[in-house]
Structure 1
């Protein structure tokens, strides 16, 4: 299956952009106008270029469409307004509070693995126990930027060590497919099209159904003759106003059984990571 997008990245007309996003969200003019609290007549005039909306109206339409911050700036530019949301590198001095918060979360989660991802699933940061996920991975897959979906599912990545590869692969691809649908981002669509071509010798469930006693899809990873089992959670910033911050996500992995917890608690992660780097 190939995921395609319906919103081209470069469209000059505000009306065209709104119409494409509205159709992508399967909304009628009445639906969108109601959500944005404007009249359907006004929305029709905006889409046809007969009315110039205020900046507030453009932002309300973007909110009603469920657009992420990255997608809102093109609407503002098309309407003749300056972008509102900036994209700041994490290395910028005024982003120090964000860097400190991320590192505190990563450190506090030890001895369990945690990674920080950007919009495209590239690794931004990780704690020492996340070293587990890089074991046996081809060096070329660990060159920056390290894409964690590619590392997870590539036959030269983690895939040979994932005991439930079919189940975990279906879970990851489902998450990415939903992200493509929401953002219409062609780069994410290309990543999805790449990943689905990777081989998998296990059945991939079309629908995730719990087995006896299961509460979430686990990651089952082979490690030194054992099988470690993890659940994961994803955390994001609650009220971001910067594109970089809005697109950061921290995925934290927790042991799914006592044996995994014991291995993680008794491993000297700093020594393990140091020996690899040395």
Structure 2
């Protein structure tokens, strides 16, 4: 999406991406279908409040809501400050505290494209043996995990992990409309098969099993996002933690 496209065209694209008719969106947004039609065709320029209301119904990401506002001639409402901005010192400190508190087990923070922002020292078990090119900043954790020169050769249940991560990446790319995520998905899907076996209902999460220097380690992955954030940087940041899934992994890290 580009900001010089009419707001109606952009909203129509998001509506179609969400597989809604004009009538369905109108009912969901509690407006007339005529109004939705007029907005999409450019006969009506929506107010900033209406842009945000329709964007909310369409689950448009915050970054794209700013673009919709600009396309309609309004000022963006969601700020974006890098984590190294002095005004973000408290946010970065909180993220670092969250990640470090998870030691001795691996934890990291990534941006919306899976690029590494910060991590604790335990993450070294994931970097071990990876090609130097994959460890050049920005380190993309999705690529590191599934690339043949990254973690992939050490993941014991690789097909299962691919079957979990790639559909998730595809959904994220579709939901955000981010061309970079689509390209990342196209790259990673070419590296091998995807296991479509349904997960065992008894499993609370998909285990990730890796071989590390003669020891098999097993983790359960959890992801924390900040759904109420109004700053794009924080809203698009995810913190991933890896909990030991067996006694052998606990013993390894406690040593």
TM-score bucket (shorter structure): over 0.9
Q: Are 2:7 and 1:14 equivalent residues in the alignment?
A: yes
Q: 1:35 deviation in Å?
A: 2.2
Which of 55, 59, 64 is the aligned partner of 1:71? 64
Q: Are 2:199 and 1:209 equivalent residues in the alignment?
A: yes
- 2:24 is matched with which residue? 31
CA offsets per residue over residues 1-43 of structure 1, 9 Å max, x none? xxxxxxx445511111111110111011122122222221211
Which of 219, 234, 245 is the aligned partner of 2:208? 219
Q: Are 2:94 and 1:115 equivalent residues in the alignment?
A: no
Q: 1:181 deviation in Å?
A: 1.6
- 2:226 is matched with which residue? 237
- 1:127 is matched with which residue? 120
CA RMSD in angstroms comes to 1.4
Query: 2:198 and 2:176 mapped to 1: Cα distance?
Result: 23
Query: 2:46 and 2:53 mapped to 1: Cα distance?
Result: 11
Contact 2:161 2:206 in 1 (8 A): yes
- 2:90 is matched with which residue? 97
- 1:183 is matched with which residue? 176
Query: 2:227 and 2:148 mapped to 1: Cα distance?
Result: 36
Equivalent pairs counted in the alignment come to: 255
Please give the secondary structure, in 1, of the residue aligned with 2:101.
helix
Q: 1:165 deviation in Å?
A: 0.8
Q: Which runs of 5+ in 2 are unaligned?
A: none
Q: Which runs of 5+ in 1 are unaligned?
A: 1-7, 267-278
- 1:142 is matched with which residue? 135
Query: 2:199 and 2:152 mapped to 1: Cα distance?
Result: 22
Q: Which has the higher contact order (CA 8 A, sep 6+)?
A: 1
CA offsets per residue over residues 46-92 of structure 1, 9 Å max, x none? 11211121110110011111011111011101111011112210000
Query: 1:217 and 1:259 mapped to 2: Cα distance?
Result: 18
Contact 2:67 2:76 in 1 (8 A): yes
Query: 2:162 and 2:223 mapped to 1: Cα distance?
Result: 17
CA offsets per residue over residues 230-257 of structure 1, 9 Å max, x none? 0011001131111111100000000001
Query: 1:243 and 1:114 mapped to 2: Cα distance?
Result: 22
Query: 1:208 and 1:116 mapped to 2: Cα distance?
Result: 28
Contact 2:100 2:120 in 1 (8 A): yes
